[in-house]
Structure 1
Amino acid sequence: MKKTLIAIAALAATSAFAQSSVTLYGVMNGGVNQVKSTNAAGVTTTTSANNAAGAWASNRLGFTGTEDLGGGMKAAFTYELGMNADGTGDLGATGGVRQSHVTLSGGMGSINFGRQYNPAFLLNIAFDAGAANNLSAGRTVYGNGPITTARSSGLATYTSPTMGGFTAKLASGTNTVDNGTTETGTKVMGGSVAYANGPLMVAYGFHNINAVNAAGDKDEAILGATYKMGAATLLASTGTSKTKDAAGAQTVKKAATQVGVKYPFGKVDTFLTYGTATDNTIVGSADVKSTAYQAGAIYNFSKRTGAYAAYGQNKNETGSVKNSELAVGVRHSF
């Protein structure tokens, strides 16, 4: 009887695994970073340290699974954690959870529920030749610029099927508490529309944050394009953001542009970016202008392992303030 029950359980487990799959994946990279900051008086501060979080790409450990529901429908999930290469801890203020969402997809498109990338940030990755790496210097549209929000919790995202080259996304999320007197928390709304035809891709995306009954409202938007020219990929984007106080008055306004190119030389993948930015922290005051660039290369020993070097620099054209960062290391994907 026991052998029969074991055989039945094994058969059931085999049947379940045949209909669905779970994949373990991740990125682990570590290296050395050197950051230099020069203030308006010309004094330079240099900081050198091991980079445990990953300069080329954020370290992560994830699980993703899919199940075929039949009739063209599929269910899927993703659960992804951030981590440090030196074992000192995880990343992020949300317990290290980078993504945690469930997906249902079919002929009418797909819908995701949970913590996930917002549509505007996904376009930023697509338009950045450096793939939104973790160097603190050298960026204008992302990080130091108008696009700063990467993920949102409690987000519901609908992605349409591609029709005539067009694909649309719409995202909405609410994380609020109403005690009967005052509602607090945040509400987010975002979306994007992209057109892809042959070597060309053009897209627009936005992400709005509403801090309910509090300061911190922010509107982010990005417009960009990529063009494949032989082995080279040309990229360009422009982004804007406005931050508001509790009364809805603008407090910070940012705008930036960035162009870049990616080009492979055999086993070496290279990238180069250049951008300009303006930052207005007080309405009616003069814009603070800056320029930035990044350059990097990774030698791919295999499809999963590579040694990289990257350099970035930001220069404030108004106050002669300059920040630069050099990173070298090894990245392994699995």
Structure 2
Amino acid sequence: MHSTSKLSMLAAGALAFTSCAMAQNVTMYGRVDVGLQNISNGTTRTGVDSGTYTASRLGFRGTEDLGGGLSALFFMEMGINVDKGEAAGGSRLFNRGSYVGLSSASAGTVTLGRQYVPIFWPFLFADDAGPLRLHGYSVVQSIQRSNLFKANSSALNTPVANGGLASASSGIYSVGITSGFENNLIVYKTPTMGGLTVSAAYGAPEGYADSAKVMGANAEYRQGDLYLGAGWNRKQGQVTGGTAPQKINESMVGGMYSVTKEFNVWGNVHGWDLEAGAVTGNKFKGHDAMVGVSYKLPTGQLWANYAAKSVNNCTDCGSRGFGVGYHHLLSKRTDVYASYGRVNNDNNSANSLNSFAPTTAGTAVRGIGVGIAHQF
């Protein structure tokens, strides 16, 4: 189905949602972000891009009071490439989440569908790169969450195989992150207990044909000016054309502290390992860490962060980078921004910046962007 047809159907659906909103609490919301970027990654490219700062999106969410402290809820969100006026999810309409659930103030919340795994939330809330967090130029997105690692296949010191979680293309072996959206998830979140919440998730493997077998958990603590979070995730897929498993384990701890009402410090430590599927029990291991600061002005926000990644079992496969940005707040919903980011790759590393990969391993990627973001 063409993107225009999808959006026409969505507009009709929006009218239907609006007409039933009197019976339940239904909200239509979104973000529209477009920026001008100049990227240097072995070549130079300048363009107008959607989601330079944060992904543009359109969503619907709602709740219904069922009585006795129980409520129903739903969430559906799609990505939009505003620069082209098209849906960003390909054949997947609500690519940024679609789930339904039940919530109880005393028993917690259960949701089923496509949604974030629990480890994502400590990454988000221990990042203050802009009012909407997780700026595209934040090193959380580039060094930590673009790939667990991406390197020349010839530099690997452990046998590997191609599969659903890690594979080689044009001589580059890529291990994808596990902390984005996952399909078929069942997520349970406890009520808040003295500032603490705990979440757990399980994703049905469904023959590995749709996503993969996923499970994870987190614990988050909020008290005054302090946020602390920890998360764990395991994802299992298969080697291409075989039955041998590929497995990724991730764990992280992160936090943010408001030193003053204007000044925040934040950071995390993130470790992982990959069973690559070629030889049972062989593993790649690695870790990365990030530190950041932000300062809120009367009409704006400054931020900067730095991260470094190291990879065992791979020669010269690490990377380091930083991001800096300023957001000028025109209103509570609209800001204009300028940002700069850089990823320095070791000789065999190929980490990207804001989805732009180096033309060859070992090449640094630099980007500068200016744009406008609006929420509704």
Task: Measure, in 2, the Cα distance between the counterparts of 1:166 and 1:92.
Answer: 34
- Which amino acid counterpart does residue 133 of structure 1 have in structure 2? H
The answer (yes or no) to whether the contact 1:214–1:245 under 8 Å persists in 2 is: no
* Alignment correspondent of 1:36: 40
- Which amino acid counterpart does residue 36 of structure 1 have in structure 2? S
The answer (yes or no) to whether the contact 1:58–1:133 under 8 Å persists in 2 is: no
- 2:115 counterpart of 1:84: no
User: CA shift at 1:16, angstroms?
Assistant: 6.7
- 2:25 counterpart of 1:21: yes
Change (3 A) 1:88 1:15: closer
Change (3 A) 1:71 1:184: closer
User: How do 1:1-334 residues align onto structure 2 when only pairs under 5 Å count?
Assistant: 17-37=21-41, 44-52=42-50, 54-92=51-89, 95-96=92-93, 97-106=95-104, 107-130=106-129, 131-135=133-137, 139-145=142-148, 147-177=177-207, 186-212=212-238, 213-230=243-260, 231-246=262-277, 247-250=279-282, 252-280=284-312, 283=313, 285-286=314-315, 288-317=317-346, 321-334=363-376
Change (3 A) 1:214 1:136: farther
User: CA shift at 1:18, angstroms?
Assistant: 4.3
User: CA shift at 1:135, angstroms?
Assistant: 3.6
The answer (yes or no) to whether the contact 2:138–2:323 under 8 Å persists in 1 is: no
Change (3 A) 1:189 1:253: same
User: CA shift at 1:128, angstroms?
Assistant: 2.2
* Alignment correspondent of 2:162: none
User: CA shift at 1:58, angstroms?
Assistant: 0.1
User: CA shift at 1:286, angstroms?
Assistant: 3.6
- Structure whose alpha-carbon radius of gyration is higher: 1
* Alignment correspondent of 2:161: none
User: CA shift at 1:228, angstroms?
Assistant: 1.3
- Which amino acid counterpart does residue 214 of structure 2 have in structure 1? V
Task: Measure, in 2, the Cα distance between the counterparts of 1:333 and 1:189.
Answer: 32
Task: Measure, in 2, the Cα distance between the counterparts of 1:29 and 1:228.
Answer: 27
Task: Measure, in 1, the Cα distance between the counterparts of 2:367 and 2:146.
Answer: 14
Identity among equivalent pairs (%): 30
Task: Measure, in 2, the Cα distance between the counterparts of 1:128 and 1:82.
Answer: 21
How big is each residue's C-alpha offset from its partner over 1:231-259, in whole Å with a ceiling of 9 and x where there is no partner?
21211101112222235444543310001
User: CA shift at 1:287, angstroms?
Assistant: 5.1
How big is each residue's C-alpha offset from its partner over 1:122-165, in whole Å with a ceiling of 9 and x where there is no partner?
21111123222334877322224475531101101000011122
How big is each residue's C-alpha offset from its partner over 1:162-192, in whole Å with a ceiling of 9 and x where there is no partner?
11222100000113239xxxx9972100000
User: CA shift at 1:214, angstroms?
Assistant: 4.2
- Which amino acid counterpart does residue 51 of structure 1 have in structure 2? D
How big is each residue's C-alpha offset from its partner over 1:271-327, in whole Å with a ceiling of 9 and x where there is no partner?
1101111134xx3x4453322110111111111111111111111255763111111
Change (3 A) 1:153 1:277: same
Change (3 A) 1:196 1:21: closer
- Which amino acid counterpart does residue 65 of structure 1 have in structure 2? G
Is there any run of 5+ residues in structure 1 with no aligned partner, and where? 1-12, 38-43
Change (3 A) 1:36 1:158: same
User: CA shift at 1:15, angstroms?
Assistant: 12
User: CA shift at 1:110, angstroms?
Assistant: 0.5
TM-score (norm 1): 0.84
How big is each residue's C-alpha offset from its partner over 1:24-55, in whole Å with a ceiling of 9 and x where there is no partner?
10011112111112xxxxxx421111112x11
Question: 1 or 2, which has the higher strand percentage?
Answer: 1
* Alignment correspondent of 1:9: none
Give the RMSD, CA atoms, in angstroms.
2.6
* Alignment correspondent of 2:171: none
User: CA shift at 1:19, angstroms?
Assistant: 4.2
- How many residues matched? 308
Task: Measure, in 1, the Cα distance between the counterparts of 2:282 and 2:180.
Answer: 22
The answer (yes or no) to whether the contact 2:76–2:98 under 8 Å persists in 1 is: yes
Change (3 A) 1:272 1:63: same
- Which amino acid counterpart does residue 218 of structure 1 have in structure 2? I
TM-score (norm 2): 0.75
Change (3 A) 1:139 1:17: closer
Task: Measure, in 2, the Cα distance between the counterparts of 1:279 and 1:256.
Answer: 9
The answer (yes or no) to whether the contact 1:256–1:277 under 8 Å persists in 2 is: yes
How big is each residue's C-alpha offset from its partner over 1:99-119, in whole Å with a ceiling of 9 and x where there is no partner?
101121111110111111111
